[in-house]
Amino acid sequence: MFSVFVAATPFFGIPILFIAIGLFSIMLVHEFGHAILVNHLGYKVNQIRIFPIHGHCSYEEPYSPYEDSIIAWGGVLAQFVLFVPAAAILAFFGNTSFGSINVLLVGFSYINAFIMAINLTPGPGLDGRKAWRLPLIIVRAKWTIFQLKRKKILK
């Protein structure tokens, strides 16, 4: 995909190259977000691969659905780290005098937010399928603890 954008640069100008850099950066940051949480939970990252329209972080199978859900949130949280400063710069200062920088800011804010929203849908192959199990897992755990305390099995 990156090579297509580079080849299109003479026809569409430098901003198309910055679109490619922005999209590639968003995908890379997303996959590194998964990798950071995988390492934090003590598992091994096997590889990170970036494909034309998506990426994949391959890692050891987590011990529990809870950890799997935590890892699923890692990608979107990492994207959010890109989103906040880009959106803040656009909100407080508006466009810069550099068109290519504006393209990156729009990519890291609006387009990034759109990608986060799509990725959090519970569709096949998207993080939302695993990520949205987390609230239910937490509620079930709290309910179990409540029941165990009520029956005086736990103090």
Q: Would the pLDDT of 1 be above 70?
A: no
pLDDT(72) > 90: yes
Of the two residues 4 and 89, the one the predictor is more confident about is 89
| Residue 74, H or E segment | helix 65-93
Average of pLDDT values for 5-29? 80
119 occurs within a structural domain: yes
Range of the domain at 35: 2-150
- Please report whether residue 95 resides in a domain: yes
Look at residue 89 and tell me whether its pLDDT is greater than 70. yes
By C-alpha distance, which of 47, 51, 21, 52 is closest to 32? 47
Q: Is the pLDDT of residue 99 over 80?
A: no
pLDDT reported for residue 96: 79
Does any domain span residue 17? yes
The rounded distance, in Å, linking the Cα atoms of 74 and 127 is 9
Q: How confident is the model at residue 101 (pLDDT cuts 50, 70, 90)?
A: confident
DSSP letter, residue 64:
S
Instruction: Give this prediction's pTM.
Output: 0.85
Query: Domain tally for the chain?
Result: 1
* Cα 39 to Cα 93: distance, rounded to the nearest angstrom: 37
Please report whether residue 123 resides in a domain: yes
Q: Residue 155: inside a domain, yes or no? A: no
Give pLDDT, residue 5: 64
Query: Could you tell me if residue 110 is inside a domain?
Result: yes
In a domain, 144, yes or no: yes
Write the Ramachandran bin of 152: left for phi over 0, alpha for psi from -120 to 50, otherwise beta.
left
